[in-house]
Chains A and B, each alone.
Chain A
Amino acid sequence: PEGGNQQQSDVNLIDVLTPSEISPLLSNPEVASGTLFPHLPSDINRTPEELREVIQSPQFAQALQSLSIALQSGQLGPLLTQLGLDPSAGSGVEAFLRAIQNQVSRQRRNNPE
């Protein structure tokens, strides 16, 4: 498809969020219960074990894959605004990740602990 923002060298979220890399984060109870449990399907038990199974599931991989494709297609404007990101974050996976990094850094500057 046309559209100048199709960087061929873009990344795939599947390689960013591999189960082996992110599962250590999930053992932190604060991270798990505070940040991630609220975003699990309602019929999944809120335990670290379940969380680990979810991130290893083919359905989660499928979600990463389709979000990557959608980001590359650059049609996620409304969603990005909803997440408080700049619409330019929709021009690829890397742009999306960098925008989240910037958002976190900015929020840190504004609310120093």
Chain B
Amino acid sequence: MLIACLPEIGRQFTGPAVPALFETCVLAADVMHRPKRQTLKAADVHVTFGGIHALGGVDLTLTRGRITGLIGPNGAGKTTMVNVLSGFQRPTQGSISLDGQDISALTARKIAQAGIARSFQAARLFRDLTVLQNLTVAGIGSGLSMRAAAAQARDILDWIGFAGNAEWRCDLLSYGDERRISIARALALQPSFVLLDEPASGMNEAECDALMTVIAGIPSQFDCGVMLIEHNMKVIMGVCERIHVLDGGRSLAEGSPGEVQKDPVVRRAYLGEKASDKTLAI
């Protein structure tokens, strides 16, 4: 465990005093044991960039085995929320907890190892590596040996329907395939929660349908919770059990797809004042 703490020690040279260091180490030790987690909870999360409030007090709970949608107009703070939950953005105020344990102080890597995986809007694959290697890296990151990680990677590629092309280099992939592999790579981390940031953007109709099947299958196949950010309402309404609506960094509504669709406040945010009495475009 001491080894795992060493980077923390390094970081603390620039940071506060020793007790904080000790706390972080103990926390990291606990978190790294990785049983599957039940809930990921964001409480009163604020993020401020200079004078701009990207998030102004968002509460959000993800539950294992459930797909939660996060929607909202451009600039609503959806990606910032993903960045906060995955440790790439420290909340200015508020906390993130995994089964009641505060993880807001952990680095992105530690949070990934604790079982919160994410995909990126720009797929961000390791371009010089093969598809299989991309997934293997995440497997290694989750603590598997090279051999076990590669075996797991093959299983996931099998499941997602890419097994025949496992040896392709990622710079050869089409846009849609990049997205699929980026989801697969997040799953290779054996997460308790997967955060998918606009996986369907730029996909055509057929690819979207295939993607919906994949996403809908994730909770049962990988025993984890999913948070899905998407602009494509067909995808969102098709797979999510709960939907959380953000606007201007604040929670606007939360409920089942049916409830959210009918919510007049949500309609106004999406369609403007005049259109608020029409139905939400699906």
- Does B associate with A? no
Residues of A within 8 A of B (CB): none
